Copies of this chain bind each other. A is one copy, B any other.
Amino acid sequence: MDSCVIPLRHGGLSLVQTTDFFYPLVDDPYMMGRIACANVLSDLYAMGITECDNMLMLLSVSQKMNEDEREKIMPLMIKGFRDAAEEGGTSVTGGQTVVNPWIIIGGVATVVCQPNEFIMPDSAVPGDVLVLTKPLGTQVAVNAHQWLDNPERWNKIRLVVTREDVELAYQEAMFSMAMLNRTAAGLMHTYNAHAATDVTGFGILGHAQNLAKQQRSQVSFVIHNLPIIAKMAAISKASGRFGLLQGTSAETSGGLLICLPREHAARFCAELRSPKYGEGHQAWIIGIVEKGNQTARIIDRPGIIEVAPRGTTVPLHPNNSTSSFESSS
């Protein structure tokens, strides 16, 4: 499970908590703080929990930073973390900071819940539909962005993508990772979600497999569609790394993968995308739950949904090869 659930000594309450920490992966310290916080909270959201009673922040300052860098960077990271916590309706009231060779940022999210506040991720049944609430490809976008300054790496992908494509994808990845899955967690209750997890280091397939294993019914998950930040599928193929189309590319602070009753899935997606929850929420039906033996797979030749970065207004078409012509001209 994404969070641990501990029965308490007091009146049927449970303690639910989770921790996560990692190293910066984007250049913008403020956004990095937001991403770290969104990533920690996401483990609660995956259980349909929308409230968080407290957060702790875990930080390490790099010993390689000078005084000036520390004073500029760390407060921005902390502010990003705190702002995202506030957006999640919670606050940060503790933590620990150490000095380390590398910067570390992470946190702990804790909530005390009544039984109806969380959804145990074990009730998927054949006939359910799989929904994903953020596009895939964050790690590809982050790495491709680093390759802009690495000619050897860039040469391997320059035929399939422009520098502008990469910049846009990187921005999109950053915003996507910084978004809270909180609205989706709330709608899991409205639409009677049967199970969910969040997509992070093991990729969409790895997390789908983990989730399938936990189901009480005999089920397997079959993924038909992969919503991917535009052009990242092409980069994954051209670079021969990542395994994005195989579902094994790591994500950071990815979307919720939710098993929903078939009759509710479309409305769940429509409501999540509706303007009443603000800009930028997305959701796609990506697969189905069949009778099976607790496994998950992606079909051969899954549909690739190219998700246009929100910085662009012109829709991107799958198999659009304009950019390859441009970069090879």
Spell out A's residues near B (CB within 8 Å): 3-4, 6, 8-11, 13, 15, 17-23, 51, 53-54, 56, 58, 93-96, 98, 100-102, 104, 106, 108, 110, 112, 114
Pair B108/A6 contact, Cβ less than 8 Å: no
Q: Using A10-B10, A17-B54 as known contacts, say yes or no to A104 and B112 having CB atoms under 8 A apart.
A: no
Q: For residue A23, which residues in chain B have a CB less than 8 angstroms away from its CB?
A: 98
A3 to B98, CA, bound (A): 17
Q: For residue A8, which residues in chain B have a CB less than 8 angstroms away from its CB?
A: 53, 112
Q: Using A8-B112, A11-B10, A11-B11 as known contacts, say yes or no to A56 and B17 having CB atoms under 8 A apart.
A: yes
Pair B96/A6 contact, Cβ less than 8 Å: no
| Interface pairs A-B: 10 shortest CB-CB | A4-B94, A101-B101, A4-B93, A6-B54, A19-B56, A108-B108, A19-B96, A8-B112, A15-B53, A20-B96
Number of copies of this chain that the complex holds: 2
Q: Using A4-B93, A6-B54 as known contacts, say yes or no to A15 and B110 having CB atoms under 8 A apart.
A: yes
Q: For residue A94, which residues in chain B have a CB less than 8 angstroms away from its CB?
A: 3-4, 17-19
Pair B6/A56 contact, Cβ less than 8 Å: no
Q: For residue A95, which residues in chain B have a CB less than 8 angstroms away from its CB?
A: 19
Whole-angstrom distance from the CB of A297 to the nearest CB of chain B?
A: 28
Q: For residue A20, which residues in chain B have a CB less than 8 angstroms away from its CB?
A: 96
A96 to B104, CA, bound (A): 13
A109 to B253, CA, bound (A): 25
Please name the residue on chain B nearest to A106 by beta carbon: B96
Of A8, A22, A112, the most chain B CB neighbours within 10 A belong to A112
Additional A-B contact list (17), CB under 8 Å, known A4-B93, A22-B98: A9-B51, A10-B10, A10-B11, A10-B13, A15-B54, A15-B110, A15-B112, A17-B54, A17-B94, A19-B56, A19-B108, A96-B106, A98-B104, A100-B100, A101-B101, A108-B108, A110-B110
Q: For residue A58, which residues in chain B have a CB less than 8 angstroms away from its CB?
A: 19, 21, 58
Q: For residue A51, which residues in chain B have a CB less than 8 angstroms away from its CB?
A: 9
Please name the residue on chain B nearest to A92 by beta carbon: B4
Pair B98/A101 contact, Cβ less than 8 Å: no
Whole-angstrom distance from the CB of A62 to the nearest CB of chain B?
A: 10
A18 to B9, CA, bound (A): 20
Q: For residue A13, which residues in chain B have a CB less than 8 angstroms away from its CB?
A: 10, 13, 112
Please name the residue on chain B nearest to A20 by beta carbon: B96
Pair B98/A100 contact, Cβ less than 8 Å: no
Q: For residue A53, which residues in chain B have a CB less than 8 angstroms away from its CB?
A: 6, 8-9, 15
15 CB contacts below 8 A, A to B, read A4-B94, A6-B93, A8-B53, A8-B112, A10-B11, A10-B13, A10-B112, A15-B112, A19-B58, A19-B94, A19-B95, A19-B108, A21-B58, A96-B106, A101-B102
